Amino acid sequence: MLGQDARATSKVAPEAQALRGIWLTRGKDGRITAYAPGEGGLRRWTEKRPGGPEWDASDVVPLPELTHLSVAQNAEAYVHFAGRRERPAADGDGVTVDIVHAIQYQTGRPVSAWNSLGNPHKEPDVGSRFGAPVVVVNGAGEVNIAVRNGRGGMMVRRERKDGKWRGWEDLRCTRIKEVPAVAVLSTGCIEIFAVTNKETLHWEQEKPGGGWGDVRRSPAVVRPGSLAVLETSAGRATYYWTDPESGVVAYRAGVGPMSLGGVPGTGAHAAIRTVLDGFDCTVLAHRGANGAAAVGVGMTENEANGVWWSDTGAPCVNTPVLTHDALGRVVMAVVGEDGTPRVARQTDGPGLSLDEWRVL
């Protein structure tokens, strides 16, 4: 019971890792699709009917030598993929890195060709350190991709309404570590949150599709790679990360960081809002220090009331993911130690409980 008591083969640059993770999307037809790296590319499983519980056999989406992948959807449920591609340099010395983008227009349909968005660095050694992308789609349907650049700054590239891409924008900062957290708010504005060794950096768009205001800085201790973000009220984002001393923390502009407890291991957090027993609640998930997926439940923007953590007992090698199915139930997915994805779904009853894990 959860919450009843009180988410290559070439030479790899230093930051790059083998592609790993799991992603869940929900199509216009209501069916969930799960994606996880596997032999031949990105393996893809789709529910046989909206709400499940049965899934079709997997097929494979080819991947072009990616080290990292980010997935987002627009209002039409198109699935946008943004990846960091790494290939041996033409002269045989080092690697070349670029960001690539592709689209899946309908559930279970083929993915478009991968389009290169390039790399803003002309120096090969700096370009090889270009980071992992985070893709989001704003309310106007424009794709936005944020990447830590090869010098530790923050770069953004945005799609125009006519489908063409603007150039890379430099947000003028240094010493960023790891992957940023990026949120599209109900106002249409985008926020970017990143960390250095000594502080957090927070940018907000001045208006939908507009420029970026001055960066806001705040001292905080953030475990690398642990950032997550969720819109917790209209136009307001809450950021979550792991503090090495106090566990999970939550932060909103002007509020926090607030300790939420938990015993997280490595990796980021997953976050989703859902209604439980008539209350607006936030569900958090991470890979616990014991290697199993853990879930926390608390009332949204009421951190002082506490977050109740439970160990699901499901071993996972990466951050769990959370979504809602066609019936509004919370669905959680993990990749087990054997590399096999597993999915659990909310059951009826008070609080949040999950049914048995289903192997895909």
Residue 62 has pLDDT above 70, yes or no: yes
Evaluate whether residue 118 is within a structural domain. Answer: yes
- The answer to whether 116 and 165 are in contact (CB under 8 A) is no
Q: With respect to residue 81, please indicate whether it lies within any of the assigned structural domains.
A: yes
State residue 239's pLDDT score: 97
Q: Judge whether 313 lies within some domain.
A: no
Domain membership flag for residue 8: no
- pLDDT tens profile 169-219: 999 999 998 899 999 999 999 999 999 989 999 999 999 999 998 999 999
Which position has the higher pLDDT, 16 or 55?
55
pLDDT digits (tens, 9 = 90+) for 203-214: 999 999 999 989
Asked if the model's pLDDT at residue 256 lies above 80, the reply is no
The answer, yes or no, to whether residue 15 has pLDDT greater than 60, is no
Tell me whether residue 69 is in a domain: yes
Residue 354 lies in a domain: no
Residue 282 half-sphere exposure toward CB, CA atoms < 13 A: 25
Give the chain's mean pLDDT.
Answer: 92
Lowest mean pLDDT among 2-6, 52-56, 118-122, 326-330: 2-6
Task: Cis check for the bond before 257: say yes or no (omega within 30 of 0).
Answer: yes
In a domain, 17, yes or no: no
With beta carbons less than 8 A apart as the criterion, state whether 95 and 88 touch: yes
- Report the alpha-carbon distance of residue 168 to residue 155 in Å, rounded: 6
SS (H, E, C) the chain: CECCCCCCCCCCCCCCCCCCCCEEEECCCCCEEEEEEECCEEEEEEECCCCCCCECCCEEECCCCEEEEEEEECCCCCEEEEEEEEEECCCCCCEEEEEEEEEECCCCCCECCCEEEECCCCCHHHHCCCCCEEEEECCCCCEEEEEECCCCCEEEEEECCCCCECCCEECCCCCCEEEEEEEECCCCCEEEEEECCCCEEEEEECCCCCCECCCEEECCCCCCCCCEEEEEECCEEEEEEEECCCEEEEEECCEEEEEEECCECCCCCEEEEEEECCEEEEEEEEEECCCEEEEEEEECCCHHHCCEEEEEEEECCCCCEEEECCCCCEEEEEECCCCCEEEEEECCCCCECECCCEEC
> What pLDDT is stored for residue 5 in this prediction?
28
Q: How far apart are CA 123 and CA 56, in angstroms?
A: 46
pLDDT tens for 139-170 read 999 999 999 999 999 999 999 988 899 999 99
Dump pLDDT digits (tens) for 275-310: 999 999 999 999 999 999 999 999 999 999 999 999
3, 6, 165, 306 from 313: Cα distances, Å: 15, 19, 45, 22
Domain count, the chain: 1
List the domain range (segments joined by +) for residue 67. Answer: 23-263
Q: Are 346 and 330 in contact (CB under 8 A)?
A: yes
Tokens of 19: 């592609």
What does pTM read for this prediction?
A: 0.93
User: What CATH number is attached to the domain comprising 75?
Assistant: 2.120.10.10
In a domain, residue 31? The reply is yes
